[in-house]
Each structure stands twice: as C-alpha cells, then as structure tokens.
Chain A
Amino acid sequence: MTILETKKLGISFGGLRAVDDFSISIQKGQLYGLIGPNGAGKTTVFNLLTGVYKPTDGSITLDGENITGKSTIEISKAGIARTFQNIRLFKNLSVLDNVKLGLHNRVKYNLLTSIFKVGSYSRKEEEMNKIALELLRVFGLENEAQLPASSLPYGMQRKLEIARALATNPKLLLLDEPAAGMNPNETAELMETIKFVRDEFDMTILLIEHDMRLVAGICEEICVLNFGTVLAKGKTSEVLNDPRVITAYLGE
C-alpha cells in the first residue's frame, strides 16, 4: 500500500529551481532514505511535504488523499509529522508537556472547562497524561517527564522530538538528519530506536541523513538528490554502488 507519493514535485525561489521533477513512492512500513550533498534540496523536500513551502508544480498524495498546497496544520492533521535538523523542542516546557502538545488535536476539550476545571477537563487531561507517559516510556524517558526539555542531554532530546512527532498520530514520520551531531555509539542506538519505532508503531519513515552507515544499515530504499533533481533511486545497496552517486559525493 502506498503511503506517500509525489509526482513531478518542484519549487522555484525566484530564478532558482530548488527542487525539480521529484517523484517518489513510499510503501507502508518502509524505511526510506533521502540523501544527497549539502544544498541538494533535501530539507526543501521536507518543507514541501509539510506545507511550509507551497510547491510550484507537481502533486503530493498521502494515503490516497491529495495534500498538495494544503496548510501546515491541515497536513499535520492529515498525518505527516517531522523532526528537525537543529532540534526544535519547546525548551521552557516540561518533557511531558512537549509530548502533550503533539496530542493537541487528538484530545479535545472546551476552553471554558479548562478555566473552571470542570466537566471533561480533568478526564481529558488525564487521558493526555496517560498517552504521553506511555510514549515517553517507549523511549525510556518516563523518569525525565517533569524536567524542562532543555535540560535533557542531546541524544534524549532527539528521542523526545521523535516521541513528540509520534504523538500527533502520523501516517508518515519525517526525520531530518536524526544522527546529526551524534557519536558512533549514539548513532548505533538511534538506528535501533528508528527500527523499533517502525516495528512498534507500524510506522512509515522517510529520513534525511548524511551518515552512510545509518542509511545503509536501516533504509530499504533510498533516493539521491543532487542540485534539486533525483540522481538515482531504488534499493539501497544498488543505489550506493551507482557510479553517478559516488561521483556526486566524492567528486571525479
């Protein structure tokens, strides 16, 4: 079953063609890698998929629903969640509250009941606490629930960002350079976490990564971007041995 399909996706900033003719198709439960040299347009693709940028051409289909040109909020509700290259947690909020923000649209209660603390308020807050703590437990963060997010060590912040994204109940999870700034041990642990998320939540994951060990280790298929266009795509091992890909990465 296809979860994400982009057809001839493209965007121009003035005269600059940042992404052109980007077509991929990701199946349910797949771990898909998006790689390419710096400035190739990888994060731009993420911004197109999440509605931060509106595509100038092409279409995006998520689980059969056309989400081209929709707003960030609509796309979040449709089921795409992401993490960021430079971690963007809500630093002044607690670890638990960060995850509860991901639940914002899943649990609803009336504004007035929250002021007067009556009716559905306590029940719904409790429900949110339960779901959020459950998610934190999966990532081994339950003991840090009440700490401010900024006090967590780097690797845990990465995990928290993934937990927060999962809280929105996505169909597709986008990870933007999850291993950035991590040492080999942390990267190895992260690979396990990503595989675990895929299996445990039956999640489809699209990730951008420079760490080739991580990409080769967990991605079933990859797509190589260069100067905004698809250089190669397909099975990871085949693509990584493609001479054109090696040239793009290492030069002539």
Chain B
Amino acid sequence: MKPVLSLRGISKSFPGVKALQGVQIDLFAGQVTALIGENGAGKSTIVKVLTGIYQPEEGTIEIDGKPVRFATAQDAQRAGVTAIHQETVLFDELSVAENIWLGHAPRTRLGLIDRRAMRAGAQRLLASIGATLNPDLRLGDLGIASKHLVAIARALSTEARVVILDEPTAALSHKEINELYDLVETLKAQGKAILFISHKFDEVFRIADRYTVFRDGQFIGAGAIADATEGQLVQMMVGRSVDQIFPQRSHNIGPPVLTVVGYNHPTEFADIGFTLHRGEILGFYGLVGAGRSEVMQALFGITTPSKGAVRIDDQVRVIRSTHEAIAAGIVYVPEDRGRQGAIRGLPIFQNVTLPSLTRTSRAGFLQLAEEFRLSREYTQRLDLRASSLDQELGLLSGGNQQKVVIAKWLATKPRVIILDEPTKGIDIGSKAAVHEFMAELAAEGLAVIMVSSEIPEVLGMSDRVIVMREGRIIDEVTGARMTPETLVRAAAGLAEAA
C-alpha cells in the first residue's frame, strides 16, 4: 500500500535548538498512525510543518508520491491536510454552521453567503460523523467534546484527506473519550489518513494501526501496532537519554520544612501529601494535565483546596491568598512567566521589589534607595544583563526578564521555592544556567519543588521524584528506582516492568 502523505528527512531548527533532525512519517488511507514521544520530542513541531505553519530547512513532503511545498497554512489546507488541536481554534461567538464554513462558505449567485446551503451542508457533515448538533447553536455554548465534533466537521468540509488529531483526549471525560474513539473509526471508514498524537499508551493500543516514535527531534522507529508491545514502545520513547550534563549537587538534606497532608480539591486533585526538606530538590513528574501545577497553585493560595493542611516548620499555616503564601515563605515561579510573572511596563527594580514592599518601606512610605539596594543584590546574583535597574522590564530579552522574575521571588527570602517548568522554552545554554542556579539555592538550604515534564531534567536535578497521574500522587521514586522507565510507566499508568 502506498502512503497518502509521506515526509522524508525533515529538519527544523530554532535559535539554539534542533527541533527536528531528519525525521520521517508515512500516513496511509484508512489507517491511524500514532505519533509517540516525550515532551520535547518534536511532536508539535512536526504538526506545524504538516500544516504549513513552519517551513522545514531540509526534507521533502510528498502527497500521493508527488512532492509538495506548504508555504502557508492555506497551502496545506488546499492540499487536504487539516489539524484538530488540543485547544480547538474556533470562534465562540459564531454558530456551529458558521464555524464549519468560515473562509470557504457556499455562495449564492450574487456572491453573498448562502445561509441555507451552509446550514444544510453543516447538517450533512455533522450527520456523517454521527453527531446530532443543531447547526444554529452558538459554539461557545457547547462543551469541549462537541467543539471537537465541529472541528472535525470543519475538517471534512475542506475535503481533507489527512486529519491530524493533536492530543484530542487531553481535556475530555471518560465518556467523551469513547465517543471520540468512535469518531476516529468513522473517519477511518471514510478513508482518511489519520495522525494521532498522544502519549497515553492505552489509547494508542486501542485505536492506532501503526506507530511512529520520535525522541529528541529524531526518528526512532515505526511499524504496526499489532507487532509492538508496551515495553518496546517505552524503550524507544525513553531510550538511552542524551548525556546532558547536570551540576554536581551536595545532597545535603536537612530537617522537614514543608509538610502537606491530605490536600484535596473538588475537581483538580485528591489525597496529596508529601514532605519537603531543607536543601532538597523535589521533582514533580507527570503528563500534561496530571494536576501538578494545580497542586502548586493551591499551595501558593491562588486556588483554595477543600480539605487538607500545610505545615511549615511544624506550624500549621492557613493559605487563602498569595499574600499569605508569601508571608508563610512559599513562592511560586509560574510556568507562563510572560503572562504571570513580568510587568513589562514597570522598571526592573520595581518588578523585583513588588512582593517585598512592606520590607523596603518605612512608615508606609517607599524607600527608593532601599529598593535599589535590594534589587541590585538579587539581580547581581543572577547575573542580570541590563544597562540600568531603572530600565523598563519590557526592553530586556526573554532570558533576562526571567532572571528578574526569579530575583523578585528570591528577594522575599522564601523558605520554599516552587519552580514550574523552569526551563520550558529556553535554549540549552540558559537551561544549564538555571540548573546551576537551582543547585546553588538548594545548597544554601532553600527547599525547592521543581515541576517538570522533561525526564532528563527531573532525574538529573531531583533528590526524589513524585509522579502524579489524574490528580493523584501515584508513586514516589527514590534511589535506584529513579530511571526513565519507572517515571514513564508510572505517569502513563502502566505496571512496573518485572
């Protein structure tokens, strides 16, 4: 059988990162190919190459054996490739029918949009995937699962031959997931070639016919699912991890600082309990959506847990707001630093001192000299490159903005620092600097929690690793058990290899 779409030798790099190095994929009509890989393996990059958003530096894309080029997203769509993303990119304020036909709506003879044809077409497309949605409904009133149906109907309206499903089940309930599986079967029966991106093994084995594994931007292997075992796939995914160099750690672990007992949240997590020690780096590993960030946000007072207690140095602390968390000595460096960390319009020193103003003020008045002193002390420690601390934060590069955000938290003299995906989206050089710095903080006696989805980082930096899955702690990994296989299996809910 000949592939409908085939990629050969695709390479794509970004400043400091080789995202894809000579990878290949074949997609066949009426078959589901699962693309498997850890975070950072290059899965989302390849989706962007396939949909014309990124142009690869090397390699060929062939459709029915003929080479094509996707210079724009429209080119890819015209060639019959369409992607349905985790977060559907549709318009809440438009109706279902309008969403399906936006950009290629049927026209009347006068060139106006033919609303009747649009409605009828929408109904036909929805019926073909077994959906009974009213095409006049406002999209925003629908749930995520129904939005997926609309997205798929839209894909069919463009007469797509290749459908990419990018982690479609990440935000769905159990029942909705089963409906999605049925839908994938329908698409298969219609002869579409489907690329299914996932890192959940159970669903890969349930619906895929073939698999392709990427690791660190490289093609590792491909074949029929029927011939593969879970063990083989895990092995291919994890492999021998790249020899990344992590700083020497002192591992000088002191008495407990933070104890969390019976932490529960009505919708996000349950039965969370752990202890964090002085000088320790505690890793939190899990798949995206396992509830790690949600636990951290509750610890930091952004959300309120329904049950549970937090003790710092054996004293029970009630944390109902970020203010109280900071007062208790807990700080959180969020994942989305641009949105949640930096105030770009304010000068550097004001960004640094913002959570410490009660300390730098006297009798309720700000002491600018003291603010400068404090921000100089911490930005120097982080080796910030800026012409002056009076400079607007927005003028700095991304890496330097991040240093300011971290300096801001260190200046509050915390007992516990929570770093959420601290090296996400930064180049290798800066990564090493961040790792170095985390080791220093721990050596100075700070208790560090690191939420990370990168296995080498989790294993290379942590003293212990807590693995979460679906809102619960399912394993605590220490010592000899700290291997990539253990983490991947625990996070994916597979039994440990004998």
Bound together: no
